[in-house]
Amino acid sequence: RKKVILDVDTGVDDALAIMLAVTSGQFDILGITTVSGNVSLDQATENTCKILQLLGVSAEIPVYRGASKPLKREPFFEHNVHGRDGIGGALADMPVLKEAEAEAAADFIIRQVLAQPGEVTLIMTAPLTNLAQVLQKCPELVQHTAEVIIMGGVVKGFGNITPTAEYNMYVDPEAGKQVLQAGFERLTLVGLDVTRQALLTTVDIDRLRNPEIAAYVTQSTADYRQRYFERNGVQACALHDPLAVAVAMNRKWVTVQDYYVDVETRSDLCDGQTVCDFQNRLNKPPNVSVCLEVDDRAFMEGFIHSLNQELTE
């Protein structure tokens, strides 16, 4: 099983990414690190602990708290998208029975990667602050990480927080830039170009077999689906973060191409924009495998199948 660490700012879709990673049975999840993003660090950590409890794996998967704000900027929460608590109030009554560990997220990542050089994949579904801190503390980690898969950015389409920027890159563009420029041998960007197509509809939700999981997914995505309905006439929830996990599960679900990509950090209008050098105008070697297409139905089958596994395995 692939050894992974998930880095999350647990909002609606991060929670579903954790669920996919756990139920898929394909990963040895070494731990989950949290960061300020959609919600505060405290809230993201609480949500993460609750999701692991819901799945019955809180004893096996430790949680580590990371950065409470971006490297240089103030936090930019998304309560309008993810609800006041980040997961649509779905687990409001659940007490946290197992808290996060004392070790800091960056130290945990460094310790795990160095202990198992070349074996650990980092799946990042939040602003990249924690990984940037890791690189500042331990630059040689780059050589020892098997792969980094990032939900972030958009290269052909438009942004979801400004006209040009995707949320995770917008919130901490300095961190995004450091990570993309760090020299990782395998770094994959799962951006809005593909995640916008990974739509969970009510028809899909109706296929969930585990009553607890179905109830959770229904409630946590309700407002998100409703807002999507108001704009697009269909009830759906974009599975941005689960698609990053899916790429770690089965790369065949996406089509990737290698390009040089950088993040804008010094613009009034375009901070957080991921600029992809499609025509090699900058004459720099590719640093990122960019996801350009997705087999969204195959992915969704895999997603539903995994979440239904919990019942029997």
User: Do the Cβ atoms of 235 and 11 come closer than 8 Å?
Assistant: no
With CB under 6 A, what is the number of residues at the site for ligand BDR? 15
Partner interacting with residue 167 (select from ligand BDR, Ca ion, none; CB below 5-8 Å by kind): ligand BDR
Q: According to the binding rule CB under 5 A, does residue 125 interact with Ca ion?
A: yes
Residues 65-84 that bind ligand BDR (CB under 6 A): 78, 81
Residue 240 falls in the annotated catalytic set: yes
Q: Which of 160, 188, 221, 235 touches ligand BDR (CB under 6 A)?
A: 160
Q: How far apart are CA 150 and CA 85, in angstroms?
A: 24
Question: At 31, phi and psi to the nearest 5?
Answer: 175, 170
Stretch that binds ligand BDR, among 65-73, 135-143, 162-170, 266-274 (CB under 6 A): 162-170
Q: Which does 216 bind (CB under 5 to 8 A by kind): ligand BDR, Ca ion, none?
A: none
Options 6, 123, 151, 194; binder of ligand BDR; rule CB under 6 A:
151
**Is residue 228 at the binding interface for ligand BDR, with CB under 6 A as the rule?**
no
**Ranges within 101-120 binding ligand BDR (CB under 6 A):** none
Interacting residue ranges for ligand BDR, rule: CB under 6 A: 11, 13-14, 38, 78, 81, 125-126, 151, 160, 166-168, 240-241
Interacting residue ranges for Ca ion, rule: CB under 5 A: 9, 14, 125-126, 241
